[in-house]
Amino acid sequence: MTKIILTNDGSHSLFSEEADEHYHSKLGAISESLHVFIKNGINRTTKKEIKILEIGFGSGLNALLTQIKCEKENRMCHYYTLEKFPVKRELISKLNYCQKLEINETIFNKIHDVEWNVEQIISPNFTLTKLEEDVLNFRTKVKFDIIYFDAFSPEKQPKVWEEAILKNMYSFLLKDGFLITYCAKGIIKRRLKKIGFEIESLAGPMGKREITQAKKK
């Protein structure tokens, strides 16, 4: 079962009993997503047209924050996101993200209500392709500027962090593209480096340990 929890910044997150894992930091879901994926993700490229791949669509918070950013800056984003276990719609309706961000719910609802597995226009600068797929089997010919690697942790889902999967991520990136993740474990950084990524450790959100940027050379 998946349950809603309240995090320290007042925004909701989810807890999966099956995975025994939270979807975001308990210190703050919105704060964490803004720090890891907006400030250290999309903000680190100045490109006017961007392709992003997210691993783990979850509550759709990263997709929403990226859409807001792209509309604000008039930058075109093609956002692809993978999810093996889509969250029930009733649960999504109870999340307080729009209330906390002081926006109306139209875009968030659209992000969740559009059909899976086909590209959908969410707003003038944001298209969304939600893929109901297992990252372990995922292959694509599309090349991305950024990968938001937001899977559950290596402790809980070691297979997702295996070298073969991270190698696939490397192959999905454009030259100078990068992967960003909240994970700062030494073993994962060494694995990424071995594949050929250039690693940069960045300050974590809310005084938490570092996060990792892995750039394709």
Query: By the criterion CB under 6 A, which residues form the site for ligand SAM?
Result: 23, 33, 56, 58-59, 61-62, 82-85, 134-136, 150-152, 157, 160
Amino acid identity, position 167:
K
Task: Compute the distance between CA of residue 132 and CA of residue 140 in angstroms, rounded to an integer.
Answer: 14
Q: Are 26 and 120 in contact (CB under 8 A)?
A: no
How many Cα neighbours within 13 Å face the side chain of 145? 17
**Of 139, 144, 154, 152, which is closest to residue 189 (Cα–Cα)?**
154
Query: Which tokens belong to 205?
Result: 């959100």
Measured from the CB atom, the residue of 120 and 168 that comes closer to ligand SAM is 168
Minimal distance in Å, beta carbon 13 to ligand SAM? Answer: 8
Cβ pair 7, 27 in contact under 8 A: yes
Nearer to ligand SAM (CB atom), residue 82 or residue 169 = 82
Q: Least separation, in Å, of the C-beta of 164 and ligand SAM?
A: 13
Instruction: Give whichever of 46 and 137 is closer to ligand SAM, judged by the CB atom.
Output: 137
**Min. distance of Cβ 217 from ligand SAM in angstroms?**
26
Nearer to ligand SAM, 120 or 153 (CB): 153
Both tokens of residue 82?
């993978």
**Closer to ligand SAM by Cβ: residue 118 or 193:** 118
- Min dist CB 175 to ligand SAM, Å, is 26
CA atoms of 111 and 196, how far apart (whole Å): 34
The C-alpha atoms of residue 202 and residue 59 are separated, in whole angstroms, by: 25
- Report d(CA 119, CA 79) in Å as an integer: 9
Sheet arrangement for strand 76-82:
120-123, 126-131, 76-82, 49-55, 144-149, 173-181, 211-216, 197-202
Nearer to ligand SAM, 45 or 153 (CB): 153
